[in-house]
Amino acid sequence: MEVLIYLVPMALLLGLTGLAAFMWSLRNGQYDDVQGAAVRVLSDDDLAK
How far apart (Å, rounded) are the C-alpha atoms in residues 18 and 31? 16
- pLDDT at res. 31: 84
Calculate mean pLDDT across residues 23-27. Answer: 96
| pTM of the predicted model as reported, rounded to 2 decimal places | 0.64
Tell me: the pLDDT tens digits for 1-11?
Answer: 899 999 999 99
For the chain, give every domain's residue range. Answer: 1-29
Residue 36 region by backbone torsions, left for phi larger than 0, else alpha for psi between -120 and 50, else beta: alpha
Q: Is residue 34 over pLDDT 70?
A: yes
AA letter at 16: L
Q: pLDDT tier at 37 (50, 70, 90 boundaries)? A: confident
* Short-list 25, 28, 46, 1, CA closest to 17: 25
